[in-house]
Amino acid sequence: MKQLHIISFNDPYPPTYGGIIDVYYKIKALSALGIKIHLHCFIDQTPDKIDPEIEEITENVFFIKRKRIHCSIFQEHLSLLPSEILKY
């Protein structure tokens, strides 16, 4: 049986906006094809439990807590990196 590790930059359930809608329905479709999904989610706060909807369509769910690095406004505006990347 095929297995796939998917990395999501947010918890894909409930699918409430563009990127997460895409991730959720891809996971659902791949699972329906018989592919075992191992989901890795970057999150701000660890949830108390995994949503039953996600638990049903995945083999494993791993939550990785984001480490926020605070940067100064000076660094943010003079960097060649996008501001969102500087925060992590």
Digitized pLDDT (tens) for each residue of the chain, 88 residues in all: 899 999 998 888 889 888 899 999 999 999 999 999 999 998 888 888 889 999 999 999 999 888 766 666 656 566 666 666 655 5
Q: What Å distances lie between residue 9 and 15, 62, 77, 80, CA to CA?
A: 13, 12, 24, 22
**pLDDT score at 65:** 87
User: What is the pTM for the complete model shown?
Assistant: 0.72
| Selection from 87, 31, 16 nearest residue 6 by Cα | 31
**pLDDT score at 5:** 97
* Widest CA span in the chain: 51
**pLDDT score at 45:** 84
- Where does 3-86 sit in CATH, by number? 3.40.50
